[in-house]
């Protein structure tokens, strides 16, 4: 059977990807080979003469062919790190972005604030409380996608129970995989449907009140599609990317209905596009939320809008 050395294979991968318009062809070739070999980057450069097994060779060639077609790297490897957690991702879910970590961090801080106000010690609860669900924080994630937001919040806030919704099966399946992987599935309920409809259908009336509603809804205007990279517009799910009404449609729908599902002094958190801060803050204020404010991301761009009921 055919065998090839690491150094030769890496050079082949780089040469293949350099034929494309990818921004980081050499790095992509390295990342894919590291994944195939289950090895650190140093191995590629310290042991270039090491032979690659035939099945690894075929896997790498297949992955390089997929990457040449500008399929996202994280769909190929099936992995994406987010908030210090390795998440499973696949075609049909939006790949988590680093910008969304700002949204999660805001959610963690707000949940801690609510917990302290309720008298929970550092957002922890006793086994007795856990068994009876007395004192639990409750949050709703509309449009769970890969589960990046929900799983991260559940991982870092130990007395949190969450409900997640999405319009299709793949996001719910992927979220369940990630919740199981990080041992938070017992604190997460998942329902298929749009916006608040699955909450009404799947939960009892007394279960429909939340301390926090959080969402990273589709917010790219359809007119902006042509300006996106091919690996985004050709591979990631349209229903997770685009919204009508200049990208503001889902903000209006969620903000208008959210007060009916929030406890007194509950919070609404949105991820937003960099140029939507003022518009979304106005939408949140018009829906009756007080003290709405904008948070910036690490690039100093508007990224989060928060309002209090």
Are residue 265 and residue 145 in the same domain, yes or no? yes
User: Can you read off the two tokens belonging to residue 230?
Assistant: 């091919």
3-state secondary structure of 272: coil
Annotated binding residues: 143-147, 166, 216-219
> How many domains does one find in the chain?
2
Q: Is residue 158 part of a domain?
A: yes
| Residue 201, number of CB atoms within 10 A of its CB | 10
The pLDDT, as a whole number, for residue 114 is 93
Which of the listed residues 24, 53, 69 is the one where a domain comes to its end?
69
What would you measure as the largest C-alpha separation in the chain, in angstroms? Answer: 69
Predicted TM-score of the model (pTM): 0.92
CATH number of residue 52's parent domain: 1.10.8.10
Mean pLDDT estimate for the chain: 94
Q: What is d(CA 301, CA 304) in angstroms, rounded to the nearest whole number?
A: 9
Q: Which residues of the chain have pLDDT under 50?
A: 125-126, 128-134
Are residue 138 and residue 9 in the same domain, yes or no? no
Are residue 53 and residue 135 in the same domain, yes or no? no
Which of the listed residues 69, 92, 126 is the one where a domain comes to its end?
69
Are residue 203 and residue 117 in the same domain, yes or no? yes
| Tokens 């994630």, located at residue | 141
Task: Report CA-CA distances (Å) from 22 to 51, 116, 160.
Answer: 28, 48, 41
The pLDDT, as a whole number, for residue 159 is 92
Q: Give the structural domain span for 301.
A: 100-308
CATH number of residue 288's parent domain: 3.40.50.150
Q: Is residue 94 part of a domain?
A: no
Are residue 139 and residue 183 in the same domain, yes or no? yes
Are residue 169 and residue 58 in the same domain, yes or no? no
Query: Cβ contacts of residue 15 below 8 Å, gap of 6+?
Result: none
Annotated binding residues for S-adenosyl-L-methionine: 143-147, 166, 216
Q: Is residue 266 part of a domain?
A: yes
Q: Is residue 82 part of a domain?
A: no
The pLDDT, as a whole number, for residue 262 is 98
């Amino acid at each position: 059977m055919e065998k090839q050395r690491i150094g030769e294979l890496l050079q082949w991968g780089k040469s293949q990807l350099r034929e494309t318009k990818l921004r980081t062809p050499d790095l992509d070739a390295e990342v894919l080979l590291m994944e195939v070999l289950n090895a650190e980057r140093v191995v590629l450069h310290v042991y270039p003469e090491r032979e690659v097994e035939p099945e690894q060779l075929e896997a790498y060639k297949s992955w390089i062919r997929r990457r040449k077609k500008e399929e996202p790297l994280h769909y190929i490897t099936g992995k994406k790190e987010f908030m210090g957690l390795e998440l499973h991702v696949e075609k049909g879910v939006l790949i988590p972005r680093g910008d969304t970590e700002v949204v999660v961090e805001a959610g963690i801080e707000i949940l801690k604030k609510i917990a302290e106000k309720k008298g929970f010690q550092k957002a922890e609860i006793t086994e007795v409380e856990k068994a009876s669900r007395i004192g639990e924080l409750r949050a709703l994630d509309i449009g769970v996608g890969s589960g990046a937001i929900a799983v991260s919040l559940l991982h870092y806030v130990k007395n949190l129970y969450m409900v997640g919704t999405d319009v299709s099966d793949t996001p719910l399946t992927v979220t369940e995989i990630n919740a199981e992987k990080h041992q938070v599935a017992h604190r997460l309920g998942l329902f298929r449907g749009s916006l608040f409809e699955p909450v009404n259908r799947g939960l009892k009336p007394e279960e429909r009140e939340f301390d926090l509603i959080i969402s990273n809804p589709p917010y790219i205007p359809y007119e902006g599609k042509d300006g996106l990279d091919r690996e985004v517009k050709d591979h990631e799910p349209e229903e997770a990317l685009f919204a009508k009404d200049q990208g503001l449609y889902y903000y209006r729908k969620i903000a208008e209905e959210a007060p009916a599902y929030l406890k007194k002094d509950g919070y609404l958190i949105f991820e937003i596009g960099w140029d939507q801060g003022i518009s979304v803050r106005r939408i949140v204020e018009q829906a009756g939320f007080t003290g709405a404010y904008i948070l910036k991301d690490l690039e100093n761009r508007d990224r989060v809008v928060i309002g209090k009921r």
